[in-house]
Chain A
Amino acid sequence: MDRFDELILTIITALPFAAALALLLWPGERPKQWKYFSLLIAFASAVLSLYVLLQYNQHFGSADEKYQFVNQWEWLPSLGISFHVGVDGISAVMIFMTGIVYVAAMLMTWSTDRRVRDYLILLHVLTGGVYGTFVSIDLFFLFFFYEIAVLPMFLLIAFWGSSSENLRVYLAGWRTNFGRTKEYGAMKLVIFLVAGSIVIWIALLAIYVESGANSFDLIELQKTGYGDVFARVFFPFLMLGFGLLAGLWPLHTWSPDGHVAAPTSVSMLHAGVLMKLGAYGIIRVGVEVLPNGAQDWGMVLVILGTINIVYGAVSALSQRDLKYMIGYSSVSHMGYVMVGIGTLSSIGMSGAVLQMFAHGVMTALFFTLVGFIYEKSHSRSFGSDGEIESGVSINALNGLAKVMPVGSFMFAIAGLASLGLPGLSGFVAELLVFIGLFQTYPWAGVLAVVGAAITAIYILRLMAMVFFGTPDKRWANLPDIAMPQRITGVILIASMFTIGLMPFYFLELIDSSVELIGAIAR
């Protein structure tokens, strides 16, 4: 193992922060340069992440080493904290996905013109936090980066976001008007997420004190056998705290509001990678440190996750705003991840990890396209909704396939991936989760399949309403998607097909690590 392999994870984590610093100190007002620079950094990170993915299990002789590319620095020896990085199969896949979405999100900043410098800085910090969380194997640093990833969201949404006004929603069958400002979305998101991290923090301290090992090192803590009572008490803290970020029902309400208010690249990073941090945290900290707690609470996680799937899908069905619909579909899709983890079977868990990747890429594509449509048409409404003037809905989108064929085609692919068409990313992941689920909790499996069916309904209905038919004359002059969106789309679609057509490469990686998790029933 050479020096480069030791340092690569640190470089990947440090690169976005270095970029943020460079932008902070960049003299003059040169938005174009900043954007190219940011894209370059994102691209470099993605390439490095790809290198880690490809070299994982290749370089290290024995595949049974749990963490690879390990490096460690002393940081706070008196508390037993060190900067300790390393990846296993799960995090290797995750950082690769982060790299893809990072590049895509940076491409989406092309149309930003307000305070470009600040915007890019915050995006880099956000991504750096995500990378750091995935590669840390010290509990303190995992939490440290986790919080960093949450921190920039407030300003990103509150300043660059957009408010929703006069939406029509169905509330228990009644149609009502409502509007939510971006400040509301931002504040709600941050308060929710920090509240979740407090719950995590309490559990961390309890775990640290209980172990008596005077160390925050995950490897050390995973060796400690915790008592059943302790695990039973504190696993829910981790499950709910991390679950909150993953959109676990009933703590998901911040997520659609936040997504809707956020600007495009933030929605992409947020739904694409940030929510995955929550699910990842449940696996890495919850299941791996407190396996006996996971066994006690696995069923609860399955129940909540199933509610996520069905409730999210039903909510998405009743949305008449594109972003809200995708926000709720994210809630629904994250349900598969939660359920997969809850099964505690190696097949369900692998499916969950693959679903994280699949959903990350797919939702990024959704937000790319919706962001573009909104930017050009200033409308996100569809169907029978929107502002009604003399009986005619005046801003409902329709017939877009005629005016933006490429965009519609890409949207269709994302939609098909979302409803689990074979050959695309969602299929394999959901299939694995279903298999795991039918092996353990068949009733939940039935409900999950029902959820997938509802997904098909709302996706196809959305396609029919928004893209097919004759375009209203208001939309007749909309342009087709521009170059940045096209590149983004190609990258994301390529990765969807990669997983869809050769899932076994990824599964092998993921499986090799899932097998090592103590709580997994084989």
Chain B
Amino acid sequence: MSANVNVNLLTPEFILAGMGLLVLSLDLVLPKARRGILPWIGVAGLIAAVATALIYRWDRVEELYGGVFIADRYSLFFFAFLVILGGAVMIASVDYVKQHIKFPGEYYGILIFSILGMVLMASAGELLTAYIAMELLSFSLYVLVALRKYDSKSNESAAKYILLGAFSSAIMLYGISMVWGVTGTTFYDGIAAHLTANPDLDIGLIVGLSLIVAGLGFKVAAVPFHMWAPDVYEGAPTPVTAYLAIGSKAAAFALILRLFSEGLLPAIEDWRVLIATLAAATMVLGNLVAIRQENIKRMLAYSSIGQVGYLLLGVASLGVVDAGGAVVFSERASTGIMVHLVGYAVANLAAFLVVAVVYSRTGSDQISDYRGLAKKSPYLSLVLSVALFSLAGLPFFAGFVTKFYLFTAGAEAGFLWLSGLAMVASLVSLYYYLRVIQRAYVDQPSEGDEETAVERSTFFVPLTSWLMLGVLFVGMILIGVWPTELAAAADSASDALGTVRDVSTALVR
């Protein structure tokens, strides 16, 4: 077996790692007043990394170290998406960090490392590499969540996150070892080959795969592994919450998508009902509990749990069994997942950014404090409404098209009932989103009401946040009315997943 060691292929990843180190160490030498430049250095590095990757890997399909690292259109799609997303979070947090966080160097440096972890999760072709990449992401997130260390809420949420995160990582690792014990490989294609050769699942494999699903379920906060999410989301600094809700989920789905379509697809009959059940539970519970929330961050946390349900619906629909009984990979489902991830990321980031800006003016995250927002800042409330409408899946905005794509794929794979349930869950979500919008736009103070935090505060939106919100606003509408290019890119990424690269050597490993 001649392992390919074309290390040049990893240049974009090296750039990311180098940028992380650079930002961390610049923090030490730069005088305090000049540290405002750090995020922009980081963003420049991220742009360089994306550019390098796009130029260098555009038409390249290669495996590194015998399939540990895969460079194909799929990796490239997620490289571009995740790094841009990380950059957007970085820009979105500039104003917040300036005001609330004492260690900008650590914040931005660790953020870049977590981005590196995310892109590796998408390119990993093997379970252990994926696991290590995921840990790089998780450890970065542990630190980021705890970064407001003088705030007891931040501390509490960090402690919860670390304990449960470590626990779930251990579970997943145990699952990986069991899968290795049965199949003798941790490579996705090796697992696929084993599953094809032995259609009757070994009990050890079932346990192992279930443990892996549980571990991943924790990372994406799928019911019943979601308990940590609302507390952590509430306590973490708001940009970090956004990052948790978007970035870490997107990366986990990048991993899940590759694992399930390249590794576990032959056994789809055995797991699709399980995943569909998880999806149903997740979308129903997440959206129902969100109704009761008074804190907007908790509400968005539950709503993002609901969104995970929709994405899991896509995962359950990844394979269609054709007339001959053979499993056919459904490109539509994987494209649907990718498109929905992008739409969800843009809308959710916009919503969280509004929450962050409001928080830095008012110091409150209570929904009841949002009364009067439309009067104080029409811009913020416009973006917030559009973001919430997009999350609810109303047309004109990204959410409608992406959900339509995803649900169509679900219906095609025979999950019409689940698609229907997802629509009903969206209706529930529309109800609690509308309550926020009503609060911001419609509600008037009646006599005897105290002024809300928003009404008391003087309002202005810092320039960086203003611009970022503008970009996200345009993004939501652009995806909503012209998703053609995005869908084409996701399609070509799905193509890469559907192609079996070279499994002749898979069993030898």
Contacts and interface: CB of A to CB of B under 8 A. Distances in A.
- The finding on whether chains A and B are genuine partners in a shared complex, rather than unrelated, reads yes
Interface of A: 74-79, 125, 140, 144-145, 147-148, 151, 154-155, 158-159, 183, 186-187, 190-191, 194-195, 198, 201-202, 205-206, 208-209
A117 B162 CA distance: 49
A198 B400 contact: no
Q: Which 6 A-B pairs have the closest CB atoms?
A: A205-B411, A198-B423, A158-B442, A147-B395, A202-B420, A144-B395
A206 B411 contact: yes
Nearest to A21: B477
Contact of B430 (A144, A158, A186, A191): A191
Contacts of B395: 144-145, 147-148, 151
State the main secondary structure of chain B at its contact with A. helix
Nearest to A24: B382
B73 to A, nearest CB: 15
Contacts of B441: 155, 158-159
B419 interface: yes
A147 B427 CA distance: 13
Interface stretch (B145-153, B285-293, B401-409): B401-409
A154 B430 CA distance: 11
A186 B431 CA distance: 11
Contacts of B430: 190-191, 194
Interface string B479-500: 0000110011001000000000
B423 A201 contact: yes
A418 to B, nearest CB: 33
B411 A191 contact: no
Given A76-B483, A202-B416, A208-B408, A183 B438 contact: yes
A198 B394 contact: no
A76 B416 contact: no
A78 B484 CA distance: 9
Given A187-B434, A195-B427, 15 more contacts: A75-B484, A76-B484, A76-B487, A79-B408, A79-B487, A144-B395, A158-B442, A183-B438, A187-B431, A194-B427, A194-B430, A198-B420, A198-B424, A201-B407, A206-B416
Residue from B408, B416, B483 having most chain A Cβ neighbours under 10 A: B408
Contacts of A158: 438, 441-442
Contacts of A209: 408, 411-412, 416
B317 to A, nearest CB: 11
A155 B440 CA distance: 11
Contacts of B423: 198, 201-202
Nearest to B491: A78
Nearest to A191: B431
A190 B411 CA distance: 25
Contacts of A191: 427, 430-431
Nearest to A149: B395
B316 to A, nearest CB: 15
Contacts of A187: 431, 434, 438
A190 B412 CA distance: 29
B380 to A, nearest CB: 14
Contacts of B157: none
Contacts of A206: 411, 416
B336 to A, nearest CB: 9
A198 B427 contact: yes
Interface of B: 331-332, 335, 389, 394-396, 400-401, 404-405, 407-408, 411-412, 416, 419-420, 423-424, 426-427, 430-431, 434, 437-438, 441-442, 483-484, 487-488, 491
B378 to A, nearest CB: 8
B416 A148 contact: no
A464 B304 CA distance: 57
A12 B323 CA distance: 46
A78 B332 contact: yes
A347 to B, nearest CB: 36
23 contacts: A75-B483, A75-B484, A76-B483, A79-B404, A79-B408, A125-B396, A148-B396, A151-B394, A155-B437, A155-B441, A183-B442, A190-B430, A190-B434, A194-B427, A195-B427, A202-B419, A205-B411, A206-B416, A208-B408, A208-B411, A208-B412, A209-B408, A209-B416
Nearest to A117: B378
A370 B395 CA distance: 33
Contacts of A79: 332, 404-405, 408, 487
B234 to A, nearest CB: 27
Contacts of B426: 198
B438 to A, nearest CB: 6
Contacts of B427: 191, 194-195, 198
A428 B438 CA distance: 44
A448 to B, nearest CB: 34
Contacts of B396: 125, 148, 151
Greatest chain B CB density within 10 A among A125, A186, A202 is at A202
Nearest to B483: A76
Nearest to B410: A205
Contacts of B434: 154, 187, 190
Contacts of A198: 420, 423-424, 426-427
A154 B437 contact: yes
Contacts of A144: 395, 400
A42 B215 CA distance: 57
A443 to B, nearest CB: 36
Nearest to B434: A154
A310 B283 CA distance: 41
Contacts of B404: 79, 140
B416 to A, nearest CB: 6
Nearest to B425: A198
A480 to B, nearest CB: 33
Contacts of B487: 76, 78-79
A187 B411 CA distance: 29
B410 to A, nearest CB: 8
Nearest to B438: A158
Which of A78, A186, A198 lies at the interface centre, i.e. has the most chain B CB atoms within 10 A of its CB? A78
A325 B491 CA distance: 54
A182 B438 CA distance: 11
A127 to B, nearest CB: 14
B335 to A, nearest CB: 7
A205 B403 CA distance: 12
A148 B477 CA distance: 13
A261 to B, nearest CB: 12
Nearest to B443: A183
Residue of B431, B438, B442, B491 with highest tally of chain A CB at under 10 A? B442
Contacts of A78: 331-332, 335, 487-488, 491
B442 A147 contact: no
A520 B484 CA distance: 38
A158 B484 CA distance: 35
Contacts of A208: 408, 411-412
B408 A205 contact: yes
A159 B378 CA distance: 14
B483 to A, nearest CB: 6
A195 B431 CA distance: 11
A155 B442 contact: yes
A126 to B, nearest CB: 12
A159 B335 CA distance: 39
Contacts of B405: 76, 79
Contacts of A183: 438, 442
Contacts of A75: 483-484
Contacts of B412: 208-209
Nearest to B431: A191
Nearest to A74: B484
A122 B491 CA distance: 35
Contact of B400 (A147, A190, A195): A147
A288 B217 CA distance: 44
Given A147-B395, A194-B427, A205 B442 contact: no
Residue from A144, A191, A205 having most chain B Cβ neighbours under 10 A: A205
